[in-house]
Amino acid sequence: MTSPDAKNAADLIITGCTALVHDDHEQIDFVEDATIVVRDGLIETVTTDDLADTPAAERIDARGQIAMPGLVNCHTHAPMVALRGIAEDLPLEEWFNDVIWPIESNLTDKDVELGARLACAEMIRGGVTCFADHYFSMDAVAAVVAGCGMRANLGEAYFSSQGAEGRERSLDFALRQRGGADGRITTSLAPHAPYTVDDADLAATAHLAREHELLVHIHAAENRDQTDTSLARHGRTPIEILQGAGLLDVDLLIAHGTGIVERDLPVLAGATGRVAVASAPRGYLKFAWPTTTPVRALRKLGIPVGLGTDGAASNSSLDVWDAMALTALVQKSTEGDPRWLTARQALHHATLQSARAVGLGESVGSLAPGRKADIILVDLSGPHTQPVHDLPAALVHSARSSDVRTTIVDGRVLMRDRELQTLDVAGIVDELGERMPSLIDRSHGRKIQDYDA
């Protein structure tokens, strides 16, 4: 590409696809028989012109496929795939206190690295090009992101029980790693939750976020119990606690928010920061929580609601496509309105709103010139997606993550025709399997934290 002869050659040209784009009003639209030109990791153009004569280092014939912005997993704990299935059919408190937090006291950097590699393999195969991760040993995750080619927003989690050190380590990580992996890594400060991080630490976090222009990624109002407990103990909801700490005046990504209640809405409406919520509905059903993220109320306030999977130890998978379909279904059911959260709305959550939620609203989430070339190609030729009377519905309700054939990040093909290009699943699984006995051992009786919210 840098030789004089190929100076004008595009890096990648995708031809013959139907491209999912956003119109001037940000509505989902489709361009048939589209050609997408990628240069220097960016989308140069999405056009119906015939560019058969334009030189390109690589061409992908995508006839019969849909090109979409890559999916964004707005809230996960990627390395927890190592614990997939370890604690099934339990309420949240037992899940945390009896299984997850005891096991996490065993975590090593190597476990985190292997978990992150497996998670990235799963996500790339599911059409996820970017994920917002909130976990421990995040330098190991950053190294995996650098190696596998994905994009990520990474935050080192902390509790107040760790003292000032936790918060300092989170800041150090965020400053040291941001801009890494050729700019594919952005970072956030990652306080765990209002029930594990005290008001002083939350206020200090808000201060640091403003000073260093960092996103804050936090669990809050995860479920209604947490809101009720917070009201009983502090007279304030978790959202009001965030407000009191100044966190609504910085860029803030709130995970879950199924415990957001009516009195929180004016509080959120008064936020001066870019506040977003990540919804991961599968886990809420699995934990039998009484409510889900109040998407309709949040949208009325203009708050973006991105899609996420949470960790695989609760959600069973990192399948953002499934989160998209389930969000549409659960929102219809919760609101008692079959006309609400249409397939087009679900696709808007999965694209621009998810990009905004992780602080990348200007650079990913849309197939438009100048945006990062994070693109997936989806095959709708299978019998389960035919015929296509309604393309948004076919994508959201009939297609599955396994219909993603090609995943591209920054113009680089990470999966081609379902084959991963940068990760070796069998090798990762073998290596992880060897470490498993010591990882899941709970005989020591330790745990990293108590759940009491």
When asked if residue 386 is in the footprint of a copy of itself (CB under 8 A), the reply is yes
User: If binding is defined by CB under 8 A, does position 297 make contact with a copy of itself?
Assistant: no
In angstroms, the CA 395 to CA 194 distance is 37
Which one of residues 317, 416, 422, 442 is an interface residue with a copy of itself (CB under 8 A)? 317
Q: For residues 284 and 290, what is the distance between their CA atoms, to the nearest angstrom?
A: 8
Element at 109 (helix H, strand E):
helix 109-125
441: contact with a copy of itself by CB under 8 A? no
User: Within positions 18 to 77, which residues make up the interface with a copy of itself, using CB under 8 A?
Assistant: none
Q: Binding marks (x or -) toward a copy of itself, 240..279, rule CB under 8 A?
A: ----------------------------------------
The count of residues interacting with a copy of itself (CB under 8 A) is 67
User: Helix 138-148 vs helix 109-125: angle between axes, to the nearest 10 degrees?
Assistant: 40
H-helix or E-strand containing 328?
helix 320-335
Residues 111-140 interacting with a copy of itself (rule: CB under 8 A): 118-119, 121-122, 125-126
Determine, following the binding rule CB under 8 A, whether residue 146 of this chain makes contact with a copy of itself: no
How many other C-beta atoms are found inside a 10 Å radius of the C-beta of residue 293? 27
Asked if 167 is part of the footprint of a copy of itself (rule: CB under 8 A), the reply reads no
Query: Between the CA of residue 318 and those of 36, 72, 277, 281, 283, what are the distances in Å?
Result: 28, 11, 18, 12, 11
Give φ, ψ of 364 to 5 degrees: -130, -175
What is residue 134's three-state secondary structure?
strand
Provide, rounded to whole angstroms, the least separation between the CB of residue 248 and a copy of itself: 30
Q: How near is the Cβ of 403 to a copy of itself at its closest, in Å?
A: 8
437 scored as a contact of a copy of itself (CB under 8 A): no
Which residue of 329, 442, 450, 451 would you call a contact of a copy of itself, by CB under 8 A? 329
Report the nearest approach of a copy of itself to the CB of residue 118 (Å). Answer: 5
Distances from the Cα of 274 to the Cαs of 110, 219, 247, 262, in angstroms? 35, 16, 10, 20
Question: Does 330 interact with a copy of itself (rule: CB under 8 A)?
Answer: yes
Long-range contacts of 48-54 (CB under 8 A, 24+ apart): 51/13, 51/15, 52/15, 54/10, 54/13
Residue 381, interface with a copy of itself (CB under 8 A)? yes
Q: In whole angstroms, give the CA distance from residue 47 to residue 239.
A: 44
Q: Pick one of 165, 389, 434, 444: the residue that binds a copy of itself (CB under 8 A).
A: 389
Tell which one of 58, 225, 249, 335 touches a copy of itself (CB under 8 A).
335
Q: Which is nearer to a copy of itself, 342 or 366 (CB)?
A: 342
| Residue 239 sits in the site that holds a copy of itself (CB under 8 A) | no
Compute the half-sphere exposure of residue 440: CA atoms within 13 Å on the CB side of its CA: 15
Instruction: Give the residues lining the site for a copy of itself (CB under 8 A).
Output: 81-86, 88-91, 118-119, 121-122, 125-126, 282, 284-290, 312, 316-319, 328-330, 332-333, 335-340, 342-343, 381-390, 393-394, 397-398, 400-402, 425-426, 428-429, 432-433, 436, 440
